[in-house]
Chains A and B, each alone.
Chain A
Amino acid sequence: MIQVQGFGAVSPAGWGVPALRSALSAGNPIPARDLSYPGSDAPLRVRPTPPPATRPEFMAHPRLRRTSPISQYAVAAALEAVGSDLSAIRAGELRLGIVFGVMCGCVNYSRRFYAEVLQEPATASPLLFPETVFNAPASHLSALLGTRSKCYTLMGDPGVFLQGLATAALWLHEGQVDRCLVVSAEEIDWLIAAALNLFERRAVLADGAGAVYLSAMGEATVELRCVTDAHLFTRTTPREMAARKAREQLGPASPGEPLFDGTIGVADADSAEAEAWDNWDGPRISPKRILGEGFSAAAAWQTVAALDSLASGEHPSAVVSVVGCNQQAIAARFCRVRR
């Protein structure tokens, strides 16, 4: 049995799961802000994560002083998820695996570094370049936690977070690690907002992170029951069909089972997912309508919200659906454990 030992979130609602919970229960979209970008009079709309109320201690760590927000979000969500196990991890008493899922990655520094390269490559900053690499946040997280076990950074569309859960489950099942953190994080940059704007002008870019802390043993009250196949979007399997396949593979819902979906409240963008899950009887929660489009981080928020509802005893099971941007449809089910 793969158990959920903890979870954490950083989102436009704030730092921590309580902030996410409050925003979702209030049900009001977080106010969006304007973000200007070169050459355009029309600003882009974004929902950034607000600054933390107090500067987290971890930001003083030598590895994190110069990082861009993506690493800071990832670390904050991960620390919240591991909770009191932190000291055991740092002491090497637990072999901790890390699966970091990402779609856009370290765009702030990538854009800044490439701008410097175009301007004058001889003086482009060697401090920026290492932070552009996709696995930089996972590396910082490993260093902060002091873990030397397996650490993968997975790339893909938002479904990559649920893929990460399945990868972690494999590692735990095979006994390669004692615990595993699955983390996704993204950061806002005008470059990404401009790209998103090409495809869906009504979508609001958001940033933050989500983390789930798993084990194969313990006394946790929630388990990961299953992750469907990742149904790819291809010429012969369009997005709608892939979404339906994920739904079918997940099997029937139990009465009152909540669905944490990835719809954003824009009919065209949501149509594939909405169609696939149109006869869902239980309650639906759509965190992205409140928080914005956070890509892989948004899939993590959906999952964390589902886990939070189970942990509170509200429901015996919950489903997360992710119909990604350009790769895959995938779903997962979590259940409360009877003890």
Chain B
Amino acid sequence: MLFDSLPQINPPRRVVITGAGIITSLGTGWAANAEGFRAGQTAIGPVTLFDVTRQRVKVAGEVRLPDPMPKTNLTRSQARRMDRAGKLLLLAAREALEQCQWSAPHNVPLILGTTSGGMSLGEAFYRQIIQRPHSTRGQPTRVIHYQAQRQALDAVEAFSLGGPITIIANACASGANAIGHAWQVLRAGRAERVLTGGYEALCQLVFAGFDSLQALSPTVCRPFDAQRDGLAIGEGAGILALETLDHARARGARILGELAGYGSATDVHHLTQPHPEGSAALSSMQAACQTAGVCPSRVGYINAHGTGTPLNDSAEAAAINAWAGDHAARVNVSSTKGAIGHLLGAAGAVEAVACLMALNGQWLPPNANLRAPDPVCRFPIVRTAQDREFEYALSNSFGFGGANASLLFRRWP
């Protein structure tokens, strides 16, 4: 049962990560991305997936998909019908599942975040109706595969997961909310294992949407820089295999880290602009730390939402300043969006994997393209990769509509 009224009194369970998969414009897999982040690479280039000749901005963080795709339990026709978003999800999920080595995952729920699912198929559906209204060729497939549940169902079938499927569409916080929700499901004893994360594929509607808002950087995306002028859009996926600590220990699993806390809050200030003081961001950061019983002085690194837009970064900086208080000068902060772009519904999940990489390797990912930090930042911004001992990393994700989420990760000794 998803819910039954019988009282379930479970002491909160600890939740650990035993698998992580990632695909971004830096490459496919943990190693390629860890190397890219650590080296401070920037993987933003010309958009080739759709026409951007009439757009103000013409670059994004496009992923190179492997060809052919790896084999899974999908039939040839199922695999052929998968869209780009589904492929990104599949690749990250595959890596996470290979790493965690779960046996018989038929009762594993899938909790995902995305903002637009297979939107490029929705676009194609519309174009065909307008351009060739009497042709329905390929249209039913587009209708079905445009929907996010289809990508999730493909992942379920590809890896023989059992479900249920939960898809959270909380704009740019979707991935973090999905991981946080998975944490709550495990913590409450509603499951022993959950596959979770976020995925997003580039599409014309969303790219043009951010361009219409003049939110895309016409120069270079440089979060927290005093001269920042916008974000870069990216695509990719990040997937985590989460399980209760007891379950992981019982099977002798290799633990990559602990998901120690989660907080979420809603900013009602404006549909697209954060409250200037970052009040909901502050609430979500505080809630994540409170659920873990961790004070800010124990957090060694923050992977900031840090989109590179003037309003987002100043609001987030205000929130971090307030959250850290006297400790602000000692908490290291960076945004990885300068390197791979803003992955929207996948951002929180990909950045969760970046935090795990940092905790595992005990290094801090640099904030690409930073020249002169915005003076509003009372905290140090990581300019080059640094080796550093730290126990906790906080990951922030803030989205349209006021969706705010923070995840707190702990190094596994």
A147 within 8 A of partner (CB):
yes
B316 within 8 A of partner (CB):
no
A224 within 8 A of partner (CB):
yes
Contact B266 A226 (CB under 8 A): no
| Interchain CA distance A114-B127 in the complex, whole Å | 9
Contact B56 A122 (CB under 8 A): yes
Which of A154-162, A264-272, A298-306 binds B? A154-162
A: interface residue count bin:
35 or more
B117 within 8 A of partner (CB):
yes
Q: Which of A103, A120, A130 has the most CB of B within 10 A?
A: A130
Contact B212 A227 (CB under 8 A): no
Which residues of the partner chain B approach A154 to less than 8 Å between Cβ atoms? 166-169
A260 within 8 A of partner (CB):
no
8 A Cβ contacts from B39-58 to A: 54-56
Contact B169 A135 (CB under 8 A): yes
Which of B142-150, B230-238, B379-387 binds A? B142-150
B271 within 8 A of partner (CB):
yes
B190 within 8 A of partner (CB):
yes
**Chain B 371-413 per-residue mask, 1 if CB under 8 angstroms from chain A, else 0:** 0000000000000000000000000000111110000000000
| Interchain CA distance A150-B266 in the complex, whole Å | 6
Which of A6-14, A138-146, A202-210, A274-282 binds B? A138-146
Closest to A190 in B: B129
Which of B97-105, B133-141, B243-251, B360-368 binds A? B133-141
Contact B136 A328 (CB under 8 A): no
Contact A156 B165 (CB under 8 A): yes
Closest to A111 in B: B126
Which of A51-59, A76-84, A231-239, A283-291 binds B? A231-239
Which residues of the partner chain A approach B171 to less than 8 Å between Cβ atoms? 133-135
Closest to A174 in B: B188
Which residues of the partner chain A approach B140 to less than 8 Å between Cβ atoms? 198-199
Query: Contacts A121-B55, A328-B165; is A113 near B211 (CB within 8 Å)?
Result: no
A163 within 8 A of partner (CB):
yes
Which of A15-23, A24-32, A164-172, A308-316 binds B? A164-172
| Interchain CA distance A128-B127 in the complex, whole Å | 19
B125 within 8 A of partner (CB):
yes
B184 within 8 A of partner (CB):
yes
Query: Contacts A38-B129, A130-B400; is A232 near B271 (CB within 8 Å)?
Result: no
Which residues of the partner chain B approach A153 to less than 8 Å between Cβ atoms? 168-170
8 A Cβ contacts from A105-126 to B: 110-111, 113-115, 117-118, 120-122, 124-126
Which residues of the partner chain B approach A131 to less than 8 Å between Cβ atoms? 271
From B2, B75, B271, A130 is in contact (CB under 8 Å) with: B271
Contact B75 A235 (CB under 8 A): yes
Query: Contacts A130-B272, A132-B205; is A249 near B149 (CB within 8 Å)?
Result: no
Contact A157 B212 (CB under 8 A): no
Closest CB of chain B to A68's CB: distance in Å? 13
B204 within 8 A of partner (CB):
yes
A187 within 8 A of partner (CB):
no
B185 within 8 A of partner (CB):
yes
| Interchain CA distance A148-B127 in the complex, whole Å | 39
Which residues of the partner chain A approach B163 to less than 8 Å between Cβ atoms? 229-232, 328
| Interchain CA distance A40-B268 in the complex, whole Å | 42
From B8, B125, B209, A113 is in contact (CB under 8 Å) with: B209
A228 within 8 A of partner (CB):
yes
From B123, B188, B204, B212, A129 is in contact (CB under 8 Å) with: B212
A327 within 8 A of partner (CB):
yes
Contact A133 B400 (CB under 8 A): yes
| Interchain CA distance A174-B166 in the complex, whole Å | 19
Contact A156 B149 (CB under 8 A): yes
Contact B266 A149 (CB under 8 A): yes
8 A Cβ contacts from A83-100 to B: 98
Which residues of the partner chain B approach A199 to less than 8 Å between Cβ atoms? 140, 143
Which residues of the partner chain B approach A229 to less than 8 Å between Cβ atoms? 1-2, 163-164
Which residues of the partner chain B approach A126 to less than 8 Å between Cβ atoms? 212-214
**Chain B 103-119 per-residue mask, 1 if CB under 8 angstroms from chain A, else 0:** 00000000000110100
Contact B2 A326 (CB under 8 A): no
B67 within 8 A of partner (CB):
no
| Interchain CA distance A139-B265 in the complex, whole Å | 12
Closest CB of chain B to A200's CB: distance in Å? 11
Contact B266 A147 (CB under 8 A): yes
Contact A133 B115 (CB under 8 A): yes
Which residues of the partner chain A approach B5 to less than 8 Å between Cβ atoms? 1-2, 223-226
Which residues of the partner chain A approach B401 to less than 8 Å between Cβ atoms? 133, 135-136, 138-139, 142
From B156, B205, B268, B402, A117 is in contact (CB under 8 Å) with: B205
Contact A198 B208 (CB under 8 A): no
Closest to B291 in A: A176
8 A Cβ contacts from B145-202 to A: 147-150, 153, 156-157, 162-171, 177, 181, 184-185, 188, 190
Contact B139 A198 (CB under 8 A): yes
Contact B143 A195 (CB under 8 A): yes
Contact A149 B169 (CB under 8 A): no
Contact B150 A146 (CB under 8 A): no
From B56, B156, B185, B209, A170 is in contact (CB under 8 Å) with: B185
Query: Contacts A130-B400, A135-B171, A223-B5; is A147 near B268 (CB within 8 Å)?
Result: yes
Contact B129 A234 (CB under 8 A): no
Contact A142 B150 (CB under 8 A): no
| Interchain CA distance A235-B55 in the complex, whole Å | 42
Contact B157 A234 (CB under 8 A): yes
Please name 13 pairs of A and B residues whose Cβ atoms are closer than 8 Å in the assembled complex, sorted by A.
A114-B123, A129-B212, A130-B209, A133-B400, A135-B170, A138-B401, A152-B170, A154-B168, A169-B3, A224-B5, A226-B4, A226-B5, A234-B156
Additional 10 contacts, C-beta under 8 A, given A133-B115, A226-B3: A38-B133, A39-B129, A110-B205, A115-B126, A121-B211, A122-B56, A139-B271, A152-B177, A191-B125, A224-B3
Top-9 shortest CB links A-B = A39-B133, A139-B401, A230-B164, A166-B2, A129-B209, A134-B169, A166-B3, A143-B268, A327-B149
